[in-house]
Amino acid sequence: MPEPIIGAPAPDFSLPATGNRTISLADLRGQTVVLYFYPKDSTPGCTQEGQEFQQLSGEFAALGAVILGVSRDSVASHEKFRARHGFSFDLLSDAQETTCRAYDVIREKNMYGKTVLGIERSTFLIDADGVLREAWRKVKVKDHAAAVLERLKAL
């Protein structure tokens, strides 16, 4: 699938989420959405990324933004990960990779000498009208959430 385009409508999605819910982008109209894709629950980088978003979650909320994390892990895995770290935001399960592919985050990776397909850590900022405003690819975790918050303030 082609990469989503800044200034164009963000690809819609509807995915199972923590809290025994299904979350759709269409249902979030009127709110800004921070959609971040991460490789795997409970791994060091993914934990740090979630913790950094959690630390700033009040500031995101004050600006009308909803934070959503997406990986291929199951909702049950997400529930444990979320509870263990006290995340107040929802985690979405994309086991079929439909949303990952719509946002073009599935990439070849080298794991212990083998080539595998996995999620490239990426974040998308979607405005209240469902328009993609910013995309970060090949994200480095440290201070990333703060950079997203600064961009949100500039909208």
Q: What is the pLDDT of residues 40-78, one digit of tens each?
A: 999 999 999 999 999 999 999 999 999 999 999 999 999
Tell me the residue type at 24: S
**pLDDT value at 2 more than 80:** no
Helices 44-55 and 75-85 pack at an angle, to 10 degrees, of 60
Read off the pLDDT of each residue in 147-155 and give the average, rounded to a whole number: 96
Catalytic residue IDs: 46
**pLDDT value at 1 more than 70:** no
Q: What is the pLDDT of residues 76-116, one digit of tens each?
A: 999 999 999 999 999 999 999 999 999 999 998 887 888 88
Number of H helices, E strands in the chain: 5, 9
Residue 101 DSSP class: H
pLDDT band at 153 (very low <50, low <70, confident <90, very high): very high
pLDDT at 113: 85
Read off the pLDDT of each residue in 13-33 and give the average, rounded to a whole number: 97
**What is the C-alpha separation between 143 and 39, in angstroms, rounded?**
18
